[in-house]
Amino acid sequence: MYVPKAERSRLLQWAHASDLTSHLGGARTLEFLRRRFWETTGQRNSTDTSPSLRPRMLLCGCVLLLLGSVLAHPLDKMSLDAQWDSWKTTHMREYNGLGEEVIRRTIWEKNMRLIEAHNEEAALGIHSYELGMNHLGDMTSEEIVEKLTGLQVPMNRDRSNTWIPDNNVEKLPRSIDYRKKGMVTPVKNQLSCGSCWAFSSAGALEGQLAKTTGKLIDLSPQNLVDCVTENNGCGGGYMTKAFEYVEENGGIDTDEAYPYLGQDEQCAYNASGMGAQCRGFKEIPEGDERALTKAVAKVGPVAVGIDATLSTFQFYQSGVYYDPNCNKDDINHAVLAVGYGQTAKGAKFWIVKNSWSESWGKQGYIMMALIIKCNRVLQGMMLWRLLLTALCGTAVALFDPMLEQHWQMWKKTHGKNYQTEVEELGRREIWERNLQLISLHNLEASMDMHTYDLGMNHMGDMTQKEIVQSFASLRVPADLKREPSAFVGSSSAPIPDTVDWREKGYVTEVKMQGSCGSCWAFSSVGALEGQLMKTTGKLIDLSPQNLVDCSSKYGNMGCNGGFMSKAFQYVIDNQGIDSDQSYPYKAVQQQCSYNPAQRSANCSRYSFLPKGDEGALKEALANIGPISVGIDATRPNFAFYRNGVYNDPTCTKKVNHAVLAVGYGTLGGQDYWLVKNSWGLSWGDQGYIRMSRNKDNQCGIALYACYPIM
């Protein structure tokens, strides 16, 4: 008996719409369905076998045969109760009261019926794939989209990175599966966080890392979620911005070193945990499946974006997924294309890795239809917005062999040890790049193009972004109130041309803040130390750790930044600060351990200098002592300053780093501020820098100058 496929589909949809497959079974169902079908089609005489009625009766017979196996085990209440309890146990579901469980049970039942109906149609050959219940079963399609997708395609994208496949007519492999080649890590679970973009990006990087080094390492999506400021963490993002971050940051940590938490956290990238780097990225021409095929075949796993809003995608289980309702204009979910192939019947597909756990799809994967005809993607096919990672780990070929000895000497001098070969290769590349910057600058300085020299230091294997992120964390309060007062201790005596409080014993030794954004604490204790010496004649190292641990309620954030006046206010209210000896520096925020018995200094109030007034700053330095200041430390030349007067016209007035002004003077006709940093003795001129003075408040040094009063 032949029944056209379109007719089978129409009749089956009619049966489902009538809800006839959910409540009845056996012979009663057959008689009931026959009667209802005749009533619906306007035919009441069951004995009428005229030619006009015969096609309808044949169709009815067909659908009854189909429903025979389904209705033998209908989704009755008893069956659903058992399945619901089993599903809750499997997926460890607990609800807040009966009301919530009733709602979730209703959603789950609706999804169960959708799955059953689809699979009945698939058994007829209407669909090329099957659905299955999974851990998303008690969620609506809208909830799934809200919590588990998060691809945010930028309105304006840089097309200069478009990947152009070569025109060679070489034959591509009929199928490829990078899982079998050891280039794909296990499936992960992004949890209720819109971080699909981070998992897709990390997956593409993992593939290139395995390809170039032979090592398959799980990289950290959490690193990307927390640190890619151009994206929105669990609120969504885009893969190219993740690749740009890895390139500029000089690397991405391993998942072991920076584990996934499924929520937004403070950026905690640590270069010692780096697992891979990236030298760039390419973007596949939009909607070009042939180009994507070439890219996957020649390069490896590719980060891609798709529409994941349909229930059929959310409950996919097996087969080749093709849904004509998929919206090519609503790309909202990032995944990873790890290969392609075709079925025994010739149906072509992409092998796609998702980040919804192994409970979803086919152990976390989906085979998505690949349709190419006449060199064009067929209309109605899901069009992809595609990204391609560039090769990572190829830096070895770029290394200068003449620098090998110097690299080894530098590592030994600064005690550098790397956990993996990949990490060392990446750090070596950054080091050479910085060395080139230093050499070029000093060549120009020898021709009087600059007033200062640069030099390699302990930060040579770090990118500028890493340096700023690790060491410069001055946070100017949004609600900052400043009321300048007359200088305490000022006099009518002439202001000297040169001041250096080091020579008068007002300045303690240079410290090293480590990978902790505590510059504000070192600047604050430096100003307190100067005033302590001035009022008592005793130079005592005070405790930055005391401020890091104990001033959070004043708006400071420990190793994640703070502000000097907030530190002074803490000392005022706390009635003291401990010495560094009794409360030593750890470079990590810990529980507050202030001990009043070890108090070494106090503070009665503090004052700001007039905003941006270099003249006032000079007078204050001459009459008061060392002053806490904020500067812009984002310029690469600042990181590698060695000696001379630092004059960088590109320096902005957007301050981000706290230091201590300990004097001023003139060198070679260049006015300067003498500034103490907290980046160790190997930085600058024994930990100090001479910064341009009277250059329109260069680097914003006079914007937030303040000092404590004892």
DSSP state of 269: -
CB-based contact 385:282 (threshold 8 Å): no
CB-based contact 220:199 (threshold 8 Å): no
What is the C-alpha to C-alpha distance for residues 315 and 356, in angstroms, rounded to an integer?
11
Count of residues making up the chain: 710
- For the record, the structure tokens of 448 come out as 């009087």
CB-count burial class (<10 Å; 0-12, 13-18, 19+) for 73: exposed
Give the catalytic positions in this structure: 519, 657, 677
- Which helix (DSSP H) or strand (DSSP E) does residue 36 occupy? helix 26-41
Nearest to 522 by CA among 665, 680, 692: 680
Q: How far is CA 202 from CA 58, 207, 220, 239, in A?
A: 55, 9, 7, 9
Q: Please report how the helices 26-41 and 5-17 are oriented relative to each other, as an axis angle in degrees rounded to 10.
A: 110
Rg (CA), the chain: 34
Nearest to 641 by CA among 698, 676, 690, 678: 690
What is the C-alpha to C-alpha distance for residues 134 and 122, in angstroms, rounded to an integer?
18
Side chain identity, residue 120: E
What is the C-alpha to C-alpha distance for residues 431 and 425, in angstroms, rounded to an integer?
10
- For the record, the structure tokens of 640 come out as 């590698």
Neighbours of 444 (CB within 10 A): 11
CB-based contact 452:645 (threshold 8 Å): yes
What is the C-alpha to C-alpha distance for residues 342 and 351, in angstroms, rounded to an integer?
10
| List of E strands, 467-565 | 499-500
Look at the block and give the residue holding tokens 């590592």: 411
Nearest to 541 by CA among 559, 525, 560: 525
φ/ψ (deg, to 5) at 570: -60, -45
- For the record, the structure tokens of 194 come out as 């819109």
